[in-house]
Chain A
Amino acid sequence: MEAVSTTHTVKSFYLLLAVLIPLVGSLVVMTQKNRPNLRELVSSCSSVLLFLVVLSFIPALKAGQTLVFPIFQLLPGLSITLRADGFSMIFALVASSLWVIAVFYSMGYMRAHDEPCQTRFNACFALAIFGAIGVAFADNLLTLYLFYEIVSVCTYPLVAHHQDKESYDGARKYIVYLTTTAKLFLLPALILIYVLVGNLDFPHTISTGILPADTADWLVIMLYFFCLFGFAKNGIMPFHHWLPSAMVAPTPVSALLHAVAVVKVGVFCTTRVMLYVFGVEIMTDLNLGIFTAYFVGFTIIMASIIALSKDNLKARLAYSTVSQLSYIILGVALLTPAAIEGGLIHIVNHAFAKITLFFCAGAIYIAAHKKYISEMSGLGRIMPFTFGAFAVASLSMIGVPPVAGFVSKWYLLVGSMDAHQVGILVILIVSTVLNVGYFAPVTYKAFFGKRPPGETETGIREAPLSMLIPLLIAVTVSVIIGIFPNFMMQFVRMVTG
């Protein structure tokens, strides 16, 4: 990784292309209301195209380059500019590759379920990816904020998709939490930083941040907490309630958006700001890192306990997400290289495992119309592939080798030892036990439990192939990146240098 020290920036038009593909895809989808096959073809083509464009950045990054593309210059020091560095690749690769899988899955789900308004659904889905890719490639805080807000607004129609009272209520809660926190905390933080610094551009290293050295401590601390709570998509308690209520959305939405795109946008923004706006030095000097680690440690434990009490599978997964997101922030907040690497790699590992779990929940719902875990006992024998994938993905969540989750947990544990934080070590271990507590019974009952009395097994079989294949691909990737973690780790190491 000696190339990192000689970083130089190269202007690349392909960055703009990467952001435009989902946007244009979405616009084309809107015009193809009456041709479902063509519409889905456009969706899947744009997803594949996007993935290829993102992949094409890898050689340049490996050569030590940072790609940039300025789009609009608003005011002196304020611009909308894109950038691809190691950090952005972590998220961009995850979001674009999972979009490919999710497009096929949602095609199967939405058609098998005969959902209404599939055009709107597909268009908004692509718009949400547009926002997520924009967040990944944001070169400054303003661009980050712009795309963050785009994700909030464009996912509202997805959450409210069923247009009944429950989904309207859930969607209202969703949008109220996300826009309120963004406006109340993020907007003043953004403007204050602009006033203090004169621009909002991210630097190229994580050590110093951008705040001037003579900034008053109380101001830095205030700004920090504004940023931490402003990105409420990161699911940190007490601003996490939007996430469980957003689970009224159709399962493909829950899968891609609320296990991957939306929540990872929150976590990505939070960690991006922690490392590139405040920087490791200021975070260490003011003890902000350690405080944050313990603060989100509370979320990790509490959310796991709540997850234990949920019988609705999607709700249990939602609280599991709340808990796992805080792993990422905890890792970065510890500020030791290993912990940062563990946190960031968990963005990838959690994404593949959690999308598998949500895909399974959707497949179970389509095949057997079951939402509650208590109704699923014995189903594993009828749907071995689905529940097998569920089991492997759970292992990743728990952190068992050779599945990907083990890699993150390993780095996190090493990192917390490096930081000499026994408390954090305890939190991680307790949380692992709780993970076992709420994941193991699902698989166990499915394979070894008896079918509930009165339930017949006739007519239940595996979900359609268009759902089963994406699900199996996702879980396979989970295993592969567990055995060969270096492909993703190279980008993470570009961050820590």
Chain B
Amino acid sequence: MDLLLIKEGFPLLTFLIFLPLAGAVVLLLYQGEKFARLWTLAITSVTALFSLLLIIGFDRSTPKYQFAEVYDWIPRFDISYIVGIDGISILLVVLTTLIMPFCVLASWKYIKTRVALFMFCLLIMEMAMIGVFVALDFILFFIFWEFMLIPMYLLIAIWGGPRKVYASIKFFIYTLAGSVLLLVAIIALYLQTGSFFIPDMMWQSYTTIFQVLVFLAFFLAFAIKVPMFPFHTWLPAAHVEAPTAGSVLLASILLKMGTYGMLRFCLPITPEATLLLATPILWLSIAGILYGGFTALAQQDMKKLIAYSSVGHMGFVTLGIFVLNSRGLEGAILQMINHGVTTGALFLCVGMIYERIHSRELSLAAGLGKYMPWMATFLVVFSLAAFGFPGTNAFISELLVLAGAFEYSIVLALAAIPGAVLAAAYMLRMLQKVVWGGVNNPDQSNLTDLTVREIVILTPFLIFVFWIGLGPQPFIDLMHTSVQHLLEQFHGWHDQHQVTATLWR
């Protein structure tokens, strides 16, 4: 257990996990609409504030798991309650806690029916999402992983759009199918190592065939979650039908769990298989980047457009992970955060437009920039950020990922470049339509511009767009030691085992 820096005194991570749960339990007892809104806002805000303590107390010089807590849980089966964070997970935890209050605010007027239940689902989601990022025991991880499924299903199935049943079932089946294999892989690893403690499973000398099988089971589960092309088809359906808060959670947090899983499990637990299968996965990422770009370019529905753009953006994340160098990995983690910020913000914008024109059709939203200058301003910034305009957050992460890809192979990196062009194309197309429109715009003169509440929701996203875009170093410092450690271990493992895993190169 020397990998853990045990947190003495106040159990911060446990508090972050169980405060939302406690809040949810209270909502079961008292269900007033107004109370539900305010209460959930309060709970999520307190969680967000406390999560900042993680940043303050985080030791950037060690790759160990910090703020760790260890309690026995079911000793008979070697299952324990172990939580801790390192440079790979800290930003994701904080992103989750910070985004939650804005999801509540975005649902303030949007959700009119069964408010208490909606807020209950949000709080359960928050607990499970934080849990996934901090769990260091595989069973604990799996429980949190599965825990998200039901509330997310309900968010889509109850408060979703016209095709909510189809979308929610599809989401459920896809994710569940992936999880089953994940469970099989977990048990197989337990039988090999006799422990569910995740770091115990890392850097072991499993046989090649075992590694490949475990890797594939992991990969399928995570690739569905990311979603990587060709496992992405559940995503546009779910995004389009989900309420705004659901879309934001899906895009900003849930998708990141797939790539987080790849970083946390695939690389350290199955290093040989990772190297063996890196090349096809890299090309799959390129396919996703291009496919997402082309498909987004053809969409008439704004939510679908952003959903497909997510497929492309997440392709950059997997590209960064599997080039296996420090620029690539740091770029990938930063891209996860950036995608969470910009895509979350874009979904919020589309939600605000939807509340006014009751449609997500681009043609019906045409030309509203003239009557909603504030909305236009925010939309311009977020769209530019989404396609990696220099000075915004996504530029830094895409630059790092592409730099990592260029170090790996020039051909590979050049193949990803059209993805950047497509991103500019579909984002500018949307921007042009919404802000300017054409000669025959629908009459938008009855629209009101953003309210103070909405500006308050969007402003923090704007701050992060420019903060990460112009001063990314503090964010990279948080992850740097852990990423370096991961890579050293990875290459050290390969030197030690002398594997001939250059088959695909």
- Chain B binds chain A: yes
Mark contacts of B419-436 with chain A using CB atoms, 8 A cut-off: 1 yes-contact digit, 0 otherwise: 011001100100010001
Are the CB atoms of A179 and B424 closer together than 8 Å? yes
Q: In the complex, which residues 134-185 of chain A have their Cβ closer than 8 Å to any Cβ of chain B?
A: 142, 145-146, 149, 153, 160, 163-165, 168, 172, 175-176, 179-180, 183-184
What's the dominant secondary structure at chain B's contact region? helix
Please count the residue pairs between chain A and chain B whose beta carbons lie under 8 angstroms apart in the complex: 75
CB distance from B422 to the nearest CB of A (A): 9
B contact residues around A183 at 8 Å (CB): 417, 420-421, 424
- Contact residue among B414, B439, B476 (Cβ-Cβ distance under 8 Å from A188): B414
Most chain B beta carbons < 10 A, residue from A160, A164, A179: A179
Are the CB atoms of B438 and A73 closer together than 8 Å? no
Mark contacts of B463-483 with chain A using CB atoms, 8 A cut-off: 1 yes-contact digit, 0 otherwise: 000000011110010000000
Are the CB atoms of A188 and B402 closer together than 8 Å? yes
Provided the pairs A73-B473, A146-B390, A180-B424 are in contact, do residues A188 and B407 lie with their beta carbons within 8 angstroms?
A: no
Q: How large is the interface on A (under 10, 10 to 19, 20 to 34, 35 or more residues)?
A: 20 to 34
- Contact residue among A72, A142, A164, A192 (Cβ-Cβ distance under 8 Å from B439): A164
A contact residues around B407 at 8 Å (CB): 195
- Contact residue among B384, B389, B406, B420 (Cβ-Cβ distance under 8 Å from A195): B406
Provided the pairs A149-B389, A164-B439 are in contact, do residues A74 and B406 lie with their beta carbons within 8 angstroms?
A: no
Does B391 interact with chain A (Cβ within 8 Å)?
Answer: yes
A contact residues around B413 at 8 Å (CB): 188, 191-192
A contact residues around B420 at 8 Å (CB): 183-184, 187
Most chain A beta carbons < 10 A, residue from B390, B406, B438, B476: B390
Provided the pairs A168-B438, A192-B406, A194-B403 are in contact, do residues A187 and B470 lie with their beta carbons within 8 angstroms?
A: no
CB distance from A69 to the nearest CB of B (A): 15
Are the CB atoms of A168 and B470 closer together than 8 Å? no
Are the CB atoms of A80 and B439 closer together than 8 Å? no
Provided the pairs A187-B420, A191-B402, A192-B406 are in contact, do residues A75 and B438 lie with their beta carbons within 8 angstroms?
A: no
Distance between Cα atoms of A249 and B438 in the complex (Å)? 16
Does B396 interact with chain A (Cβ within 8 Å)?
Answer: yes
Does B418 interact with chain A (Cβ within 8 Å)?
Answer: yes
B contact residues around A72 at 8 Å (CB): 470-471
A contact residues around B5 at 8 Å (CB): none
Q: In the complex, which residues 380-423 of chain B have their Cβ closer than 8 Å to any Cβ of chain A?
A: 384, 389-391, 396, 399-400, 402-403, 406-407, 410, 413-414, 417-418, 420-421
CB distance from B5 to the nearest CB of A (A): 28
Are the CB atoms of B432 and A172 closer together than 8 Å? yes
Are the CB atoms of A184 and B390 closer together than 8 Å? no
Can you list 20 A-B pairs, Cβ within 8 angstroms, ordered by A? A74-B470, A142-B390, A145-B390, A149-B389, A153-B384, A153-B389, A163-B439, A165-B438, A168-B439, A179-B421, A179-B424, A180-B424, A183-B417, A183-B420, A184-B417, A187-B417, A188-B406, A190-B399, A191-B406, A194-B399
**Interface residues, chain B, with chain A CB atoms under 8 Å away:** 384, 389-391, 396, 399-400, 402-403, 406-407, 410, 413-414, 417-418, 420-421, 424-425, 428, 432, 436, 438-439, 470-473, 476
6 nearest A-B residue pairs (beta carbon): A146-B390, A183-B421, A72-B470, A195-B406, A191-B402, A183-B420
